[in-house]
Structure 1
Amino acid sequence: MRNDLRQGVLKDMKENIKPNYAALGRQYNADYRTIKKVVEEIATDQVKTRKVVKKPSLLEPFKAIIHDKLALNCSAMAIFKFIQKKGYLGSYSTVKTYCRKFKNHEVKKATIRVTHTPGLSAQVDWKEEMKLRNSEGILYKFNIFLYVLPYSKYKYLTLTFDRSQDTLFSCLAQAFEATGGIPHEIWFDNMKTVIDHSKSSFGHAIFNQRFYQFSKDAAFKPIACRVFRPQTKGAVEALARTVERLRPYNYEPFDGTDLIELVDNLSDELNQEISQATHLQPTLLWEDKEKEQLHSTPVDLLKPYFEEDISRIVSKEAMVNFRKCKYSVDPKYIGEQVTLEVSDDEKHVQIYYNRKLIRSHEITTQQYNYNYEDTKAILRSDLMNGRNEDDIEQFISKNLSAYDQV
């Protein structure tokens, strides 16, 4: 197409002059049908390039709230109901689709393979609420604390029956001792014993004050992993999958003590196996390169967090946790704060309320430890309320093991 012809027609159209095909044909020595074709082509091009103004999404003002709630693992329906009360007028399907796309986007972000530095970091997580039944059908519910040094892949595992903050501190101190020291930084999941969820927002985690003080005393920098980014703690995520090796012990003969030993043995086995990432035994790489890079454990600073003057809230089952096991008190103390101390001979845990000794138990590795009088009081207040003393004592003698499972 002749450029002078197109430019002439375009000039008239920009000045809103209605094209005169015959006059333009005489001016540019062209047939009027050619002029008409040029006009139509220019008009079509202008329609294609015309900027389309998109109407803002009804969801736009609520996206920041959605991100915060997704960080707390809220469902799309729960978020939809929540933002409806904040003024959202759109549909549930829009919220559901956005939540799905956002999660997929976060999970599928490219992850750069990191070369770890000896002694720089560790990764922490829990394998939560595992369940195994022994050969007698007794169900054991437990957690496994997971700690790994990503450079050497050296691991520390231990069994716990709760995931309280005191238990976390105790497990960390044990891990520091088992691995020969403390790294410069430790990566944690979005666990409530570490993160203050009431003050945190998506992408900006705030550590709770007691945990932060513990990290300062232990001289490590805590780092919160990104939500929906399991890759940021890949070493401990892989370890969490590995502890599924305990599953074959389902319905095998074991008790609580055996279960603790199984986890300890698994930890030792994993440290002796050749790592697929390094092609070396974690024990060898840790001993040769990493152990000397860790700084020493300040035992005197950390011990008060979990050993001396231990405070506990008595649970609704009239029990307190100590060293992975539970010990009974009178149910009248349910909901009250008590203090635990280890006896001078280190064989008993003594439980105090308002500085008065209310119970002393021999320290064991059994999951549940009941005092006989506490057991009667517990049954009298709940399961056998209104029954006479003889009935309760008969029940205890025949069914105490069954009551343990209750």
Structure 2
Amino acid sequence: DRKQDTLFSCLNDAFYYTGGVPEEIWFDNMKTVVDHSRTQFSKAQLNERFYAFSKDAGFQTMVCRPFRPQTKGSVEALARAVERLRVYNHEFYDSVDLIHIVNELCEEMNSEVSQATNEIPNLRWEINEKEHLHKLKKDLLTPYFEDFITRKVTNEAMVNFRQCKYSVDPRYIGKEVEVELSENEELVHFYYNGERIRSHQITTKKLNYHQEDLVQILKSDVMSHKEEDEIQEHIRQSMKLYDLLEADTNE
């Protein structure tokens, strides 16, 4: 499929297979990577979640310019390599057999002289390239690959998910909630005993509050003596200040 989670899984497998992460990786203008494609006059706008993944993995994202062979050539060369697999159509028994065929093909191609460099890839890799990989930050990528996810609601009525915090009603403090992504991977849903208790837009902001949750949090603690209008005004001012601080931090 073409889901972003699948892309992350493939990249992660590639990092483990090669033994590290390169300084930069080139991508076509795919929807799992960019929200707005690069043009002659503007830069590509990276998808927020992909950008967070690239920072955690430790590589810089380079986006190809559409219809420009000078940058896309190396990416499209990989597609031509995959075409060499077509001769094996229906000639394998199972996935293990297919993986064996792919590995044999990789070894064969990496032992041939490359038209681009006029060198044998296996030798170039060992002598010139492998040393430039940096170590994979395994612990930082772990949250991207969880299937069934549960989280304990913190004392601040927040749920930790992908290194960001999302609010729920404070009555769920200390309880285990289930975490589920929407089909388009833009929303995160939180469930308690099968009932959805809150949904949030997935962001890279460290703190993500739902207005209702924030009111209840303040009511139950430091502003229990205040009227709701005062609490709402306090929230508006606080969130403006937080957004400014967040913007300064990102810059």
- TM-score normalized with structure 1 length: 0.35
Question: Do the aligned residues in 2 keep the contact of 1:184 with 1:221 (CA within 8 Å)?
Answer: yes
Q: State the match for 2:43 in structure 1.
A: 204
Q: State the match for 2:81 in structure 1.
A: 242
How many residues are treated as equivalent by the alignment? 157
Q: Tell me, which stretches of 5 or more residues in structure 2 are unaligned? A: 151-178, 183-189, 195-251
Aligned-residue Cα RMSD (Å) equals 2.9
Shift of the 253–221 alpha-carbon distance from structure 1 to 2, 3 Å rule, reads: closer
Letter paired with 2:57: A
Letter paired with 1:304: P
Q: State the match for 2:159 in structure 1.
A: none
Q: 269, 273, 278: which is aligned to 2:108?
A: 269
Shift of the 208–338 alpha-carbon distance from structure 1 to 2, 3 Å rule, reads: closer
Shift of the 337–309 alpha-carbon distance from structure 1 to 2, 3 Å rule, reads: closer
**1:240 deviation in Å?**
1.2
Q: 200, 203, 222: which is aligned to 2:61?
A: 222
Letter paired with 1:303: T
**1:309 deviation in Å?**
4.9
Q: State the match for 1:179 in structure 2.
A: 18
Counterpart-to-counterpart distance in 2, 1:211 and 1:174: 16
Question: Do the aligned residues in 2 keep the contact of 1:187 with 1:223 (CA within 8 Å)?
Answer: yes
**1:224 deviation in Å?**
1.1
Letter paired with 1:173: N
1:126-145 correspondence to structure 2 within 5 Å: none
Which structure is larger by alpha-carbon Rg, 1 or 2? 1
Counterpart-to-counterpart distance in 2, 1:244 and 1:262: 13
The yes-or-no answer on 1:195 pairing with 2:34 is: yes
Question: Do the aligned residues in 2 keep the contact of 1:338 with 1:354 (CA within 8 Å)?
Answer: no
**Overall identity of the aligned pairs, in %:** 59
Q: Tell me, which stretches of 5 or more residues in structure 1 are unaligned? A: 1-161, 312-335, 340-352, 358-406
Partner SS for 2:62: strand
1:7-406 correspondence to structure 2 within 5 Å: 162-197=1-36, 202=39, 203-307=42-146, 309=148, 337=180, 354=191
Counterpart-to-counterpart distance in 1, 2:117 and 2:44: 32
Shift of the 310–196 alpha-carbon distance from structure 1 to 2, 3 Å rule, reads: farther
Letter paired with 2:124: L
Q: State the match for 1:7 in structure 2.
A: none
Counterpart-to-counterpart distance in 2, 1:278 and 1:356: 59
Counterpart-to-counterpart distance in 1, 2:108 and 2:2: 24
Question: Do the aligned residues in 1 keep the contact of 2:111 with 2:122 (CA within 8 Å)?
Answer: yes
Shift of the 274–169 alpha-carbon distance from structure 1 to 2, 3 Å rule, reads: same
**1:219 deviation in Å?**
1.7
Counterpart-to-counterpart distance in 2, 1:304 and 1:184: 22
